[in-house]
Every structure is written in structure tokens, then in C-alpha cells.
Structure 1
């Protein structure tokens, strides 16, 4: 690692303590953390009283790091600062995706109408049975529409649904166009969001603790403390708004399951979005297959008509 360092070691440590991102990037700081001396290595070097220039570059590097109290902790704080902005931006994007997906589903009148028609179809099929007067159905039943097949084993209930909609309510066929956030939302795990939120909160707590400890370091940490105070002032407000956005996303995720009369604990956000996304894909596939089948039948009818016309013409000539 040291062979790649093109600046003098004292300058590198000065940049680290000043938390100067224009000189050191995240990869370089991670390497510095990785190669911090162990306690045993520091104990060995503490006892060295000879000429430091006679030491190898690695030992000189260790001695430079040892001039700074809690150097590894400071470097980790610097790394947190470098990554903070992009970490917050990515996290906000995920939370906004969750909120958008929930809003799109709950406000989709077209989806609501399709669900009504599915319920009507189910009740029609089950007429005369105990299941023939249902007032609703489980969300995962949407994926079972492809399991119910006609006697010819070619058309499923999903195909029939698309056929009915195409005939009587064609405006509903593009309902998926209003669910633009669904695919991105289906890739988000609420557990991962919780872990990310905790990582940001705990990271900022560690930054504050290091600032308290560094206040007693003396001149070596003056610039470090000054820069860190400015960073904490700006980031605290950012984390506060982030926590609020995270809470809103959590409430919306639960409300989405409740919208379908599902228990958020048994049918969490991930399951709801995955089910809806799969339903959209199966629906569009069935509709496309219906269109292809209709086109084939049209061509077949044209050929039959042409053959009949040709046969009729031949008979007239003979006559």
C-alpha cells in the first residue's frame, strides 16, 4: 500500500486530520485503516530509540500514525464523513421509492376496478357454493388466476379476464402504467432499510464521541475538532429529517398491506410489492398472448375465406 503513496507521510496524516477529501478519497482512507498498527506493533516501536531514518517505510508509517491519539477511530470518522452524503442520498432514494409505490397503488382507480372484476369473476365461477358470495379475496389469489384453466387447457382465468377487459373496459388494460415505482420498490427490503438507518444513527454517535475524546488531545487534533464540529452541525439536521422520512415510509408500508386487508406482520411490504409486480407481469403476458391468438385466428379466417372464394370461382368457371 505504501508503495502507491506519492506524498510524504506527514503530509498524508495532516490531510487525514484535516479530513481533506480533495487529497484523500474513501479507498485511501480505508487502506490507512486496514494498515493501522496493532497494539503489539506499537509496543515494539515505542521502545525504539535509534535513528528513525534507518527504519523501513512501514515502521516510519506506523510511527507517523502513532503521533495521533486514537488514530484508527479518527480515520473511521473521516471515512464516515466521506461516505455520509452518498449514503444519505441513496437511503433517501429508497425511502422515496417506498412512499411512491405505496401512493401509486392506493390511488390507482384502474387497479381497484380490475380487483372488483376479479372478485366478480370468482363469485360467478363459485356460484352455488359456499365460496360464491365472497366480499373479498387474499392478495396472493391474484397469482392463482393462471392456475384455473378452461376445458381446452389453453385459456386461463387470467386470459379470460384480459379478454373481458379488452372487450368491455379497454381503458383498464394499461393500469400498470400508473405503477411506475413498483419494480424498484419490489427490490427493497424493509429490514435492510432499518439496518441502514441504524448504521447512520450509530455512525453519527461515534463521530460525536470521538469529538469529545479529541478535545483533550491538544494541538495535534485542533484542525480535526474544528472540521468535525462543522460536519456534526450540518449532518445532525440531515439525520433528523431522514428519521422522519424513514418513519413515514414505515407507516406507508404497513398501510399498503392493510389496504388489501392483509396483516403487515404476515404479509409485509416486500411480499405485497412482489405479488403485485408478478400479477402485472402475468396480466401483460396473458394480454399479449390474447392479441397474438386473435391475430392468428384473423389470418386463419382470411385464408379460409380466400380458399372458399377461390373454390367458388373455380365452380363458376366450370358451370
Structure 2
């Protein structure tokens, strides 16, 4: 390209991050392919020049809210016999909440009976499984076991089951598996839905096109001009550029023009119904969740293999576990595939806006889009309120003029003819 066209006037710039080379399949490549005009027909250049002249320094306002949350923790110490005083006391407190004989509790745990023991109770049992040192201490006890405290007797009951802690962890995984998979699928489906909604929104695409046009008009003749697109975070900079003699920002102006010329685009947020939920999802957390599910199932299979040599004590455990593994392996296979699809869609969403997924990940894309939606809606609402104020003011002025005219006519009638 040769020299750029001279600017008609000195305008305030839009400090966007300019895109000079478009990625194939991106929004910007699509706009170029269909030969979209650089200047959208809705914008009046002379009006832009009047509103956004750079003669008056711009003023910026920002406000932020921060919230902090605190957690308080506490512990309750007390006493008992062979085992450490605090540990024994806490174990006894836990046992009072279970409210069933120890043999019955262990039978329910080995049968993995969810109708008898819930996740919280199993978690407590895991927390209070005896350590190797505690087991050795109890094995070395030669006195009457009836004289031992509740904690010691509980530990002895657990010690009757080979690898009791491993079995309890498998039981907990089984209890939580269904809800864990359901919640995980819900998050993955939210990611997939939000990606599809953004990329299919024709209204969003039309607004992006007009922002590109508006920015190129303001930046004409500068290094920021003649952009083929812009980086996603540039959307949030529309509120930074203010009109010369009013509180209007470029975002207000965009909303004002769209309300006048293309009102059907104002509700583009309705296309993005999954965006807010998606903005709360971290891909790193999803990856950790996927790994936890896979590793959990691996441990289930390992414990099944190990329990083959346990003898009759683990018969009901093995039977229940084999049935669970058949169902869970199919579920994990399905959710692994869904996870892969979500990952590809998340990367594709960044690429759609011409961004590098490594530098602008899914979390950043959704957060930026959601912020833009909120800033856009706020500006539109403020425009509507201002228009209503001006309308009422005009009506009041019209009524006053009408009253003045009426008063003038009454004066003429009372005074009679001005000529003899």
C-alpha cells in the first residue's frame, strides 16, 4: 500500500491493538473475504469529527470493587488411652455421629452400601484410619482389649480389613462418581455451547464490523489506522475514548448509532446465553478434574486386583466393585471424548478472533466478551436515560412557550385595539 489518506481533522484515537494479518477461518478473514467496506454506512464521519475532536483533554474515570472472603477454622482437643490424646478424642467425636455398631458400619463399608453410609461419613472414616505407627502400637498391646477406649477398638475393627483405607477411598469415589461426572459434563457442555453461540452470532459479527470501521475512522492517517481487525481486549477500550465536550464515550456513540440505524443489533447478548456461565470455568480446573476421574478409576481397578487375595472378607466388596467398573469405564470413555471436543472448541474460539490460544486462552476470551456485553448494555441504558431526560426537558420548554404565547394573546384581547 502507498501513503495513507490525509486526515480530515485531528480526532481522538482508539487505542486498540491492531491486526495487520488475518488468520484463516477468523472473523477478520471472513470480513475480508466478503469485501466488507472499511466504513460502515451507519456512521456519519462529520458527526464523529465533531464529537471526538482531540482539542479537549480526555478525562477518564474508573471504579472497582473488590471482595474478600475469609474462612475461619477451629479445632477441638480432648483425651483418651493408647492413641494420642487429641487424635483419640476427635475419633470418638466422629464415631458419635455415625450412630451404629462398628461391625455394622464396616459391613456397610465393604458392601459399599450408599444407603447406609454417605460421602461425609466415608470421608471421616478415611480421615481416621489408623496410621502404620498406630497399627504397630495396637499390635504390640498384650492387655485385655475390652479395656481399650473407643478409638482403639475402632482402629482394631478397621485393621481386620486388608488395605482398609484404599477400600474406603474406592467407596468414596463410587459415591461421588455420578454427581462428579454430571457436573463435569455440564461444565464441558457449557464450554461447547458458549463457543458455538459466539461463533454463530451474526449480530455480534455485525457489531465487531462496525467497531472496526469506527476505529479505522478515528485512527485514519496514523500507525493504528487501516487495521484489518483488532485484538479482543480492544473492545474494552471503547469506554476510554471520550467525546470532546460531553460525557459521551465511544461506547455510548456506538450504542447511539445502532439504536438509531440498526436497533435489531442492540440485543446481541441474547445470542450468548451461555457466556456468563462459561466465564466462570477454568480450563486448568477441567484438566485437573479429568485427571482426577481417570486416576480414580485406575485406583479402583488396582484395588479390585489386589482384593482378589483378601479371602471372604472382601467378597461383597469385589462383587459390587466389578459391577461399578463396567458402568464407570463406559462413562469415563464418553466424558473423555467430550473433554477433547471442548478443548478443541476453546482453542477455535480464540482463533476466531485472530488470537493465539496460548496467549489468549478461553478464560480470557469469555471474560473479555462478558465485560464488553456489560459495558455495552450500561452505555445503552445511559443513552436511554439521557434521551428521556432531554425529551422531558423539550416537552417542558414547549409547554412554557405555549403558556407564554397564550398569555400574550390574553394581553392583546384585554387591551383592545391598538389604533384609535
TM-score (norm 1): 0.98
Q: Deviations over 1:177-204 (max 9, x none)?
A: 0100000000000000000000110011
Report whether the alignment pairs 1:102 with 2:206: no
Report the equivalent of 2:102: 9
Q: CA offset at residue 219 of structure 1?
A: 0.7
Q: Distance in 2 between matches of 1:51 and 1:162?
A: 84
Q: Is it true that 1:175 corresponds to 2:274 in the alignment? A: no
User: What residue is the counterpart of 2:157 in the other structure?
Assistant: 64
Deviations 1:226-279 (A, max 9, x none): 111111111001001111000000000000000000000000000000000000
1:233 to 2:291 alignment: no
**More displaced 10-residue stretch of structure 1: 126-135 or 234-243:** 126-135
Aligned equivalent of 1:53: 146
Offset, 1:22: 0.3
Deviation at 1:215, TM superposition (A): 0.7
Aligned residues: 319
Does the alignment pair 1:202 with 2:202? no
User: Which blocks of at least 5 consecutive residues in structure 1 are unaligned?
Assistant: none
Partner of 1:212: 305
**CA distance in structure 1 between the aligned counterparts of 2:142 and 2:235, rounded to whole angstroms:** 77
1:289 corresponds to? 382
* 1:249 maps onto 2:345 in alignment: no
| Structure 2: gaps (5+ residues) | 1-93, 413-420
Do the aligned partners of 2:98 and 2:121 also contact (CA within 8 Å) in 1?
no
Separation in structure 1 between the aligned mates of residue 329 and residue 289 of structure 2, nearest angstrom: 16
C-alpha separation between the residues in 2 aligned to 1:10 and 1:287? Answer: 68
1:90 paired to 2:186: no
Q: Normalising by structure 2, report the TM-score.
A: 0.75
Matched with 2:218 is 125
Residue in structure 1 matching 2:396, options 299, 303, 308: 303
Cα distance in 1 for partners of 2:153, 2:132 equals 16
Answer yes or no: is 1:43 the counterpart of 2:165: no
1:259 aligned to 2:352? yes
Deviations 1:110-158 (A, max 9, x none): 0000001111111112223343321111111100001111011411110
Q: 1:20, 1:182 → 2: CA distance?
A: 40
Match of 1:12, SS state, is helix
Partners in 2 of 1:128 and 1:264 — Cα distance?
31
When the two chains are superposed, the root-mean-square deviation of aligned CA atoms in Å is 1.0
Deviation at 1:49, TM superposition (A): 4.1
Farther-moved stretch of structure 1 (16-25 vs 144-153): 144-153
Q: CA deviation at 1:6?
A: 2.1
Structure-2 separation of matches of 1:289 and 1:120: 23
Distance in 2, Cα, partners of 1:244 & 1:111: 30
Task: Work out whether residues 278 and 366 of structure 2, in 8 Å CA contact, stay in contact via their aligned partners in 1.
Answer: yes
Contact 2:203 2:268 in 1 (8 A): yes
Do structure 1's residue 76 and structure 2's residue 198 form an aligned pair? no
Match among 278, 286, 309 for residue 193 of structure 1? 286
Aligned to 1:164: 257
